[in-house]
């Protein structure tokens, strides 16, 4: 197996470090995103207490009766707010839905920006008011961490450090709380049914708050699967397709999946919470001129973030 570069980086050294420390962070995240598309991040602004509280609320949410959860599945929103039930999302190119259910929380616009009228309201869980409060807090903290990471990436790309700031302010980001439910009868399972089929993320970058069990794997350049594990409360951060398009493949949106557990553990749930950092829908994803040359011809047609998101939601079955 080839060496897999998933460095553990301290975000505080970029936010508060010296010029040398900030450059070293930017170089390290850029190199990892060029080679494997993944890093792990410590000192990201979320305390252990907040993460523990989040997972307590997430487990309580998915323990609600099916009929209660189903009343929060809102037709017409393509799963972008509230609950999405089992067998609804299918990885691109797969025919069998993923073995999961999830709840999505979107942007809360607090100024008078035009996005205030574009985004649907978040769905409030009447039975779990603490869930509403803790997910909003986590959303804002992950958004703040993501902005710092994008600044480091902008420096690596030779852009102004604040290149992404106005593009992600009031961006269409999503916090997804995920439940990979127990597999009660493995013998009845389709051989193609997995917790999350091999896929690439749609957005700019994804910030993942751990998981309650192993299972996340990335596809290496030598076409082998490599398990991704984080230390304690570290975040796992990876490149999404929007950033890959913008950088003409200089930064790598790596294929990844969540595999089923060993048979003896199939009756256990798995929980995870990814934050998909999206820009505003108007962001131009046309590949940066600096990433195109004779050796690296332009690979993608021009599109906006909104157009690309719409295309991908249809491909994975969330939007008709």
Residue the block writes with tokens 């942007």: 107
Mind listing the pLDDT tens digit for each residue in 148-160? Answer: 999 999 999 999 9
For residues 43 and 15, give the distance between their C-alpha atoms in angstroms, rounded to a whole number. 10
Indicate whether 1 belongs to any domain. no
Indicate whether 2 belongs to any domain. no
Phi, psi torsion values for 313, nearest 5 degrees = -65, -35
Q: What is the DSSP letter of 62?
A: H
For residues 188 and 269, give the distance between their C-alpha atoms in angstroms, rounded to a whole number. 18
3-state secondary structure of 228: coil
Name the domain count of the chain.
1
CATH of residue 195's domain is 2.60.120.330
Q: What is the DSSP letter of 274?
A: E
Residues 113 and 248: beta-carbon distance below 8 Å: no
What's the mean per-residue pLDDT of the chain? 93
Mind listing the pLDDT tens digit for each residue in 140-195? Answer: 999 999 999 999 999 999 999 999 999 999 999 999 999 999 988 888 888 888 89
Residues 15 and 148: beta-carbon distance below 8 Å: yes
Query: Does the pTM of the predicted model rise above 0.85?
Result: yes
Q: Which residues constitute the domain of residue 259?
A: 8-315
Indicate whether 256 belongs to any domain. yes
Indicate whether 126 belongs to any domain. yes
Indicate whether 211 belongs to any domain. yes
Indicate whether 3 belongs to any domain. no
Residue the block writes with tokens 């992950």: 142
How many CB atoms lie under 10 A from the CB of residue 107? 23
Percent of the chain with pLDDT over 90: 77
Residues 312 and 78: beta-carbon distance below 8 Å: no
Q: Which two tokens stand for residue 207?
A: 């910030």
């Amino acid at each position: 197996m080839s060496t897999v570069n998933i460095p553990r980086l301290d975000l505080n050294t970029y936010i508060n470090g010296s010029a040398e420390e900030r450059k070293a962070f930017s170089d390290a995240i850029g190199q990892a995103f060029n080679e494997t598309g993944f890093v792990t991040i410590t000192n990201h602004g979320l305390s252990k207490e907040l993460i523990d509280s989040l997972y307590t609320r997430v487990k309580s949410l998915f323990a609600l009766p099916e009929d209660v959860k189903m009343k929060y599945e809102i037709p017409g929103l393509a799963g972008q707010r509230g609950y999405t039930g089992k067998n609804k999302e299918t990885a691109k190119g797969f025919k069998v839905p993923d073995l999961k259910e999830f709840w999505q929380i979107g942007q809360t616009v607090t100024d008078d920006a035009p996005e205030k009228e574009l985004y649907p309201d978040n769905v409030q869980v009447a039975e779990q008011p603490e869930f509403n409060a803790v997910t909003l807090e986590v959303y804002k903290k992950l958004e703040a961490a993501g902005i710092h990471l994008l600044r480091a990436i902008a420096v690596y790309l030779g852009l102004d450090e604040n290149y992404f700031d106005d593009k992600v302010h009031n961006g269409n980001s999503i916090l997804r709380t995920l439940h990979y439910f127990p597999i009660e009868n493995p013998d009845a399972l389709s051989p193609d049914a997995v917790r999350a089929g091999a896929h690439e993320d749609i957005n700019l970058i994804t910030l993942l708050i751990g998981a309650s069990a192993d299972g996340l794997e990335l596809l290496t350049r030598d076409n082998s699967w490599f398990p991704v594990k984080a230390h304690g409360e570290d975040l796992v951060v990876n490149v999404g397709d929007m950033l890959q398009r913008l950088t003409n493949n200089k930064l790598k949106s790596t294929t990844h999946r969540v595999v089923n557990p060993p048979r003896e553990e199939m009756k256990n749930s798995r929980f995870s919470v990814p934050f998909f950092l999206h820009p505003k829908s108007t962001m131009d994803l046309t590949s940066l001129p600096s990433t195109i040359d004779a050796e690296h011809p332009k690979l993608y047609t021009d599109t906006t973030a909104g157009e690309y998101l719409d295309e991908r939601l249809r491909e994975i079955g969330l939007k008709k």
